[in-house]
C-alpha cells in the first residue's frame, strides 16, 4: 500500500461492483462538440446519470449544465479542473472528449482515482502515452473503452467477419481513405486569453504558448502539440478498420509517409494531403488523407464532397466499406455480388458502443469491451508512426516493441517534453 498515492488508494477502495440495476454516475470531461454528444447519448442510455461536467471554458460549462437539465431534469456538479472531479467519490466513470493531447493523461489519472473511462479517439497523442494507458487500465483494474465506435456497428462487424471467411480470397492490401473536405483555417492573431478560459489547463501537457482562436476551438487538431492532423482525427477510425480487416494486432516492420500542406497559406501545421504505407510482410496497409477537392474511389464513392472508408483487396476481388454499408466485387469484371446497407439508426450512431461500455462497467468485465485500450492504441500508433515519418522525411524501421531503429531524431517523437504538473507517468 505504501507504493500507492492518495488518489490511487481512494480509487482502489472505490472499485466496488455495480448491479445490473444500479445507476452509473458519469462525468463528462471536455464539452466541445464531441463532449456535447457524450452528454446527449450517455444521458439517454437507461440507468446512466450525468452527475458532473468538466471543462476549462466557463461558457462550455454553462451550456452543458443547461443541456443536462433539459435532458435529465437535474443540475450536474461543475468542475473546471478534472483533478478535483477525480476526488469526487460519487463519480464512478468518466468520459473524456478533450483535445487529443489530454486523452491519455486524463484517462490515466481517472484509472488511478478508481474511475472507469470512455476515452475518445485517438487513445493517445504519442506512442509512449499509449503504452502507459494500457498499463494503467491493467494495473488499476479499470474498464477503459476507446471511442472506436465502428467496433460496435453491426454492418462493419459483418464485413470484417466476411473478410475472415475469405469472401474476396486471400487479402493482400487494405486501403484507408480519409478524403474529408477541409477549408483553410486562415490566420488568427495571438491575443490575451478571453475571460472564462483557463488557458494553462487547456494546454496541459503541452508547452506554454500565446492564445489564439485557431489554437483553441476545434482547429487545435491542426497543430502538432495538441492534435495529430486528420490522419489522427477522422482517419484513426479508418486506420482501425484497416488493421481489423487485415487481422493485424501488431505494428508493421516499416512505415513511410509523405505529403504536405498544399494550396493554403494559413496557421495549420499538419498536412492536408498525406500518404502512408505500412509493410506487414504478407500484406500492405495503405492510408491516404486528402482535405482538398477530390473524388472517391471504386468501392468508396464520394458523398457530399467526402470519401471516408476502407477498401480491402484480395485474390478474388475487393470490398468497399464506408458509412453507408459495404459492397463486394468479384472476378475480372468486378461484378457486384453483395451490397449491404448499414443497420443502425445512423451510420454515425455511437450509442451501441457507449452502451457496450456501460454494460462492461456494471459487470466489471473488461473482456466484454468492443474496443479496449490495446485496440485503440494500435490504431492511434499507426497514425503516429505515419506522422513521425512525415515529419522527419524518412522511412522508419520498427523494432518488436515499437522502437524506431537507427534514427534518434525520429525516436524523440515517440514521446514529448511534458510540462509539470501535466506529466504522463511511466506505469508499464
Number of structural domains (the chain) is 2
130 and 16 housed in the same domain: yes
127 and 159 housed in the same domain: no
Does some domain include residue 10? Answer: yes
Q: Which string of b and e fits 78-109 if b means at least 16 CB within 10 Å?
A: ebbebeebbebeebbbbbbbbbbbbbbbbbbb
139 and 160 housed in the same domain: no
Does some domain include residue 213? Answer: no
42 and 94 housed in the same domain: yes
Does some domain include residue 208? Answer: no
Instruction: Look up the pTM and report it.
Output: 0.94
Range of the domain at 49: 6-150+351-370
Does some domain include residue 385? Answer: yes
- CATH number for the domain harbouring residue 125: 3.40.50.720
260 and 397 housed in the same domain: yes
Block mean pLDDT (10 aa), the chain, length 428 = 45 51 93 96 96 98 98 98 97 98 98 98 98 98 97 96 98 98 98 98 98 97 98 98 98 98 98 98 98 95 94 98 95 96 74 97 96 98 98 96 97 98 95
- Cα-based distances in Å from 118 to 39, 89, 96, 207: 12, 18, 6, 26
- CATH number for the domain harbouring residue 256: 3.30.360.10
279 and 366 housed in the same domain: no
Does some domain include residue 144? Answer: yes
Does some domain include residue 215? Answer: no
Does some domain include residue 428? Answer: no
79 and 131 housed in the same domain: yes
Residue 12 confidence (pLDDT): 47
31 and 176 housed in the same domain: no
CB 283 within 8 A of CB 174: yes
Which residues make Cβ contacts (< 8 Å) with residue 152, sequence separation at least 6? 352, 353, 356, 370, 371
363 and 282 housed in the same domain: no
406 and 324 housed in the same domain: yes
96 and 170 housed in the same domain: no
Residue 345 confidence (pLDDT): 63
Entry field: residues in the chain: 428
Q: Partners of 48 in the beta sheet?
A: 24
Q: Pick the closest to residue 141 from 294, 332, 361 (CA basis).
A: 361
Q: Strands, E, within 180-270: which ranges?
A: 254-260
134 and 20 housed in the same domain: yes
Does some domain include residue 257? Answer: yes
Amino acid at each position: 500500500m505504501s507504493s500507492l498515492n492518495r488518489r490511487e488508494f481512494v480509487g482502489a477502495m472505490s472499485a466496488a461492483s455495480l448491479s445490473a440495476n444500479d445507476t452509473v454516475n458519469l462525468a463528462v470531461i471536455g464539452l466541445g462538440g464531441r463532449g456535447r454528444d457524450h452528454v446527449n447519448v450517455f444521458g439517454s442510455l437507461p440507468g446512466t446519470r450525468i452527475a458532473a461536467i468538466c471543462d476549462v471554458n466557463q461558457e462550455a460549462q454553462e451550456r452543458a449544465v443547461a443541456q443536462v437539465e433539459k435532458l435529465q431534469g437535474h443540475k450536474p456538479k461543475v468542475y473546471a479542473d478534472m483533478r478535483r472531479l477525480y476526488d469526487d467519490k460519487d463519480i464512478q466513470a468518466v468520459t473524456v472528449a478533450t483535445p487529443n493531447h489530454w486523452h491519455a493523461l486524463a484517462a490515466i489519472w481517472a484509472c488511478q482515482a478508481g474511475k472507469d473511462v470512455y476515452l475518445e479517439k485517438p487513445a493517445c497523442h504519442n506512442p509512449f502515452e499509449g503504452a502507459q494507458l494500457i498499463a494503467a487500465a491493467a494495473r488499476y483494474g479499470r474498464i477503459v473503452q476507446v471511442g472506436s465506435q465502428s467496433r460496435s456497428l453491426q454492418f462493419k462487424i459483418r464485413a470484417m467477419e466476411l473478410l475472415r471467411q475469405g469472401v474476396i480470397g486471400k487479402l493482400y492490401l487494405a486501403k484507408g481513405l480519409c478524403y474529408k473536405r477541409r477549408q483553410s483555417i486562415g490566420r488568427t492573431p495571438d491575443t490575451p486569453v478571453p475571460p472564462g478560459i483557463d488557458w494553462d489547463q487547456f494546454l496541459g501537457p503541452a508547452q506554454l504558448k500565446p492564445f489564439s482562436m485557431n489554437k483553441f476551438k476545434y482547429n487545435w487538431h491542426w497543430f502538432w502539440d495538441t492534435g495529430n492532423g486528420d490522419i489522427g482525427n477522422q482517419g484513426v477510425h479508418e486506420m482501425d478498420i484497416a488493421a481489423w480487416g487485415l487481422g493485424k494486432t501488431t505494428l508493421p516492420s516499416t512505415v513511410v509517409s509523405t505529403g504536405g500542406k498544399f494550396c493554403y497559406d494559413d496557421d495549420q501545421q499538419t498536412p492536408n494531403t498525406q500518404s502512408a504505407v505500412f509493410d506487414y510482410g504478407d500484406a500492405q496497409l495503405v492510408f491516404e488523407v486528402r482535405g482538398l477537392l477530390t473524388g472517391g474511389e471504386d468501392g468508396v464513392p464520394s458523398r457530399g464532397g467526402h470519401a471516408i472508408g476502407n477498401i480491402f483487396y484480395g485474390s478474388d476481388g475487393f470490398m468497399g466499406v464506408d458509412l453507408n454499408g459495404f459492397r463486394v466485387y468479384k472476378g475480372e469484371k468486378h461484378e457486384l455480388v453483395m451490397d449491404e446497407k448499414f443497420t443502425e439508426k445512423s451510420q454515425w450512431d455511437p450509442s451501441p458502443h457507449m452502451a457496450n461500455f456501460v454494460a462492461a462497467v456494471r459487470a466489471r468485465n473488461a473482456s466484454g469491451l468492443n474496443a479496449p485500450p490495446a485496440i485503440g492504441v494500435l490504431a492511434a500508433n499507426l497514425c503516429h508512426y505515419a506522422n513521425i515519418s512525415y515529419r522527419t522525411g524518412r522511412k522508419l524501421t520498427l523494432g518488436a516493441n515499437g522502437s524506431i531503429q537507427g534514427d534518434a531524431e525520429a525516436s524523440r517523437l515517440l514521446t514529448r517534453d511534458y510540462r509539470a504538473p501535466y506529466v504522463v507517468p511511466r506505469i508499464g
